[in-house]
Every structure is written in structure tokens, then in C-alpha cells.
Structure 1
Amino acid sequence: MLIRAFVPAHITAFFVPKFNEEPLLAGSLGAGINLSKGTNVFVSLEEGLEKHIHIAFNGEPVKKENAIISYSVANEIVPENFIGEVEIWQYFDFPNGHGFGNSAGGALGTALSLAFAFKEKTFLQAAQIAHKHEVIHKGGLGDVIAQIHGGIEIRIKPGAPGIGIVDNIFFEGYKVLAVPMGRLSTREVLDSDFIRLIKKEGEKALNALLSNPKVDVLMKEARGFAERTGLLSGELLEIAKEIDKALHLPSSMIMLGKSLFALLKENEVEKVKFLLDDLSIDEYHICDVYTQRPSVERWVGDGK
């Protein structure tokens, strides 16, 4: 049996971390965007003599300590009485550690695929398990619940899927530019003293967006948050200012990664491509906004 799940990449525009000793109550407030590119997870089950769980990233096997979140998810969902091989392949459209929710995408895709295979957990229960292990191992706070809802989302109550509350901004005619430029450790930022300023500026941005929930307000507040917290600075800020010259809305930094994003109108796509070429930036993605929930199904290949 081969199961496939797709989980959209998720960009966080700004956030307010909400810590709690109970992982299902921890999470974040804020806003972000789900992308038409993301994480594809394939799960294969083969009965055997012993239980083994194997995980690979982009075709390469990974040690347990390097995929602890997905291994923890799998160990919780695979029934104790299952004997055999569980192989989990995770394929990422974006590089790890750059702010695209890969950790949550892998965890959620694994949870949904295994729940579909064994039929012992609901969609929501599987998502809660993914969220729990994301929080415990500090992979992130709000990506899973955002990915469950899709679209351009506002997280207005923290917590796991089924506990937190997410709303969506109406929009039309926009594509998303994503420019991955470097890694930034979510764990290090969440563990730093810096978090107090992030909370203050995140609440300010969230209140402004809730009072006027439009995409132009989202991007204005995202940029203000990124600059006022000092997360967007130096060369990354200079590149953002250059990108702004081709757009009617400001670009901003992806939280948390040394990456940039922007919302584009159709007539801005070619202009921004030319500008990025002029800046010698080769790696970038132009995606649609993904407005559905993650998909999971039995997989029989492209010829189905």
C-alpha cells in the first residue's frame, strides 16, 4: 500500500508566540500564506517479522535525530501491534530551515498518511499529533494549524487544530514570490531574549490587520514587523528594498528564515523576474496561493 499526502508550504508574515506547558494549547497568533508548492509525503507499508520505521528526505535516508519530529509522529500513530516496514519519503519543494514550514509539512504529511493507512485516527486527531510534536521539539508553533486551513490566514486563537481558531482573508488575482536566501533556526529565535520584542510587535501588527483585513494591510504590517524587530536587516533588507521597486505592495521577510516573499499582480510577474535576474538571484519561486486543506489519498502513480 502506498499513500500520498500533500501539505502546502506555509509562509509566516508575522507572529506572536504563545507558549504553554500543554502542547495542544501552545501555538501562535499571526498571519501567513499557504503556497501551491510544499511537501509531498509518500508512505509505504509492508508486513514483515519486525517493526521498522524509516524516513527519507528528498530520497536520502535520515537518522532519527535529524527527523525526530516525524519519527515521533510515526511512533505515535503506527499501531503497537503492527509488525512490518513503514517507509516514509518526504519531498520538499523548498530548502529546509528557510521558513517554509517544511518541518510541519513533513510532520503533518506523515500523520495524515499514516492515519489514512491505518484508519484509527481522524484527520483532526492526526493533525493534533503533528502539532504536538512540532511544539515539543520546537520545530514551530503555528504552521500545522495554518496548513490545515489554507489560503491567506489569520491565526486569532493559539493552539492545535480543533483548539486554535483561524480565519481567512478574501483575495483575488495574486501570486506569491518566494526567495529562499538562507537558514534561520526557529529553535534559537524562540529560545532567545528577543522574544519579548517579537510579541509586542506581533500584537501590534495583528490588531492592525484584524481591524482592516486586506492583503495590502497584511504586507504593510509584515514589513513593519520584520524591520521593527530587527529580523529584517543588512543585505536582506537591501534586497527587499530593490524588490519593492517592481511592486505595488512591499515585500517582507519570511518568519523564520532568511528568505523574502511578496504578493504579485499578474502584470508584475515579468518585472520582478527581470529585477531578480539583474540582482543575480537565480533561486526563487512564483506560486499560487493554496486555498484547500492538505490532501491525502491512496497513490497508484501518475497513470491513475
Structure 2
Amino acid sequence: MTNSVFVPGHITGFFSIENHDVSLKNGSCGVGFLLSKGVRTTISPADELEIEVNQGDSTVIDEVLSILEVETNFKIAQDIQLPIGAGFGTSAASALSLSLALNEFLDLGYSDELCGQVAHMAEVNLGAGLGDVIAQTGNGLVLRTSPGAPGIGEIKSFEQDVFIAYKTFGEIETSEIITDSKHKETISASGRKYLELFEKETTLENFLSFSNQFAHEIGLMSEEVKNLVDYFNSSSDILGSSMAMLGNTAFAFAYDEDAFKNLNIEDLHIDKLNNIGIVYD
């Protein structure tokens, strides 16, 4: 028997860091969106533990296995379809897809929420992120209204028929930023301001506008990202553009795929907003 679970990538537009002594309550609030690409984890029978990852290492996998205290022999294969460390929530998607796939393969009988909590704990323990796991249980545009793991934090999802484009220029070390007191203060003050405004009027236009203002206020945009964001926003066919949090990546939205193709940007990836979410194969 083989089990496979796909968890979509997630890009955050703006957020606030909401730390708590209890790992499951440690997290963030904010707004982001899901991509059609993400991480697919497949578990299959094997005579010994085998781990096969198409990029990166097995750090996230090892952490999930440690939390679950699993020692059974099987093969774990992960297809990570997005760049690592560039603001796509790949570590969260890796942890969540693995937890869900193992639950099915080993017939552990855990709820989806408990699997999500295992993935969230892995993220927090590794300093890899604070809010992607719960967001990845939603679909479309996702508002995180209360921090923490699935079953503890709260989200609202909004489906949108829209195209997305993104280009990454490399990694940003998430753990260094979310643990730095000065960055945390700046990010959280700005994030809470825009979260309050967004909750009053949850429109795509506001998400894009607030994301762009937030990115400029927290001062983490590289020159490459800033130039591309400005270029996107100079086009009347583009709905809006900003920086992926936290990654050296620019993203933009448009109703028409040709709006991106006509810009002729090298290495630009065009996607569609993922209104489906997690898929069990």
C-alpha cells in the first residue's frame, strides 16, 4: 500500500509575529495565498527506512519522525516543487504532507488537526516558520485571524479566480528574522495595522495594496525584488505586486495570464490561485 499527499505552497503578503511559550499557540496572524505547486509526499513499503528528497535535506522529515516517535521501516519520497527558503512555505508543506501521509500509511488514527499540530511543532522547533501550516489547510486567499497550529489558530479562506506570477532571487534566512527583536517589533506593528484594515474589507485589492505597503515599511526588500515589484506595479494590467514573506521573491496578481506573458520577464513563473488546497492521492 502506498499513500501520497500533496500540500500547496503558501506565500504570505503581510503578517504579525505572535509568540507564545506553548509551541502550539506560537504563530502568526496575516494574509497569504496558496499556489498550485507545493510538496508531494509519498510513503511506500520498504525493508528499511529510506528517505528520498529531490532538493534540500531531510531536516524537516527527521523532525516530524522524531515528534511522532515513528521507527517503522518504509520509504519516504518528497517532491518539493518550489524553491526552498524563498518564501513559498516549503518546509511547512513538507512537514504537513509527511504527517498526513504517515497517518494514513501507518493507520495512526490521528485527526487532520492533530497531524497539522505535529507539522506546526516541527516548524516552530526548527525556526522555519510560524503560520504556513495552518494557512495550508485552507484554500485560495487565506486570512489567519488567530495564531497557532490547526485546531488552535483560526483562518478564513476566500476563493478568487486569478493568475499569479512570481520570480525568486534566492533565499532569506527566516529564523534569523523572526527571532531578531528589532525585526519582530517592526514586522508585528506594521502587520497588525494592515491586518486590522484588511479585516474591515477583505478584498483582493486591499490584500495587494497592504502587502506592498507592509513590504516597504519593514525594509527587507532587496534591490532586485523592489525593482521587479515596481515594474509589475507600473503595468495597468497587473492588479498588484509585492514581496513574498519571508523570501527574496516578488509576486504579482492579474486576471489575465497574458498580462504576465506580455512583460517578457526572464524566469517568471505563472501560476493560478489554488482554490482546492490539500489533495490526497
TM-score by shorter chain over 0.5: yes
Q: What displacement does 1:34 show?
A: 0.5
Please tell me the residue identity of whatever aligns with 1:187: S
Distance 1:293 1:170 in 2: 11
Q: Deviations over 1:33-64 (max 9, x none)?
A: 00111111111222x4xxx5332221x6x7xx
What residue number does 1:55 align with? 51
What residue number does 1:272 align with? 260
What residue number does 1:183 align with? 171
Distance 2:208 2:142 in 1: 13
Contact 2:145–2:154 under 8 Å retained in 1: yes
What percentage of aligned pairs have identical amino acids? Answer: 30
What residue number does 2:249 align with? 259
Q: Deviations over 1:184-206 (max 9, x none)?
A: 11111112221110001001110
Larger radius of gyration between Structure 1 and Structure 2: 1
**Aligned counterpart for 1:236 among listed residues 225, 248, 253:** 225
Structure 1 residues 146 and 236: alpha-carbon distance in aligned structure 2, compared to 1, 3 A threshold:
same
Q: Deviations over 1:110-157 (max 9, x none)?
A: 101100111212222111101111111111110000001121010000
Distance 1:88 1:170 in 2: 32
Gaps of 5+ in 2: none
Q: Deviations over 1:259-290 (max 9, x none)?
A: 01111111xx223223233xxx2x22211222
Please tell me the residue identity of whatever aligns with 1:144: V
| Displacement over 3 Å in runs of 4+ | 75-80
Q: Secondary structure at the match of 1:291?
A: coil
- Superposed, 1:281-300 pairs within 5 Å as 281=266, 283-297=267-281
What residue number does 1:76 align with? 67
Distance 2:179 2:69 in 1: 31
What residue number does 1:142 align with? 131
Q: How many residue pairs end up in the alignment?
A: 278
- Superposed, 1:68-147 pairs within 5 Å as 68-77=59-68, 79=70, 82=72, 84=73, 86-120=74-108, 121-147=110-136
CA RMSD of the aligned region, Å?
1.7
Q: What displacement does 1:90 show?
A: 1.2
Contact 2:139–2:158 under 8 Å retained in 1: no
Contact 1:201–1:228 under 8 Å retained in 2: yes
Structure 1 residues 88 and 78: alpha-carbon distance in aligned structure 2, compared to 1, 3 A threshold:
farther
Contact 2:34–2:277 under 8 Å retained in 1: no
Q: What displacement does 1:257 show?
A: 0.4
Q: What displacement does 1:73 show?
A: 0.9
Gaps of 5+ in 1: 298-304
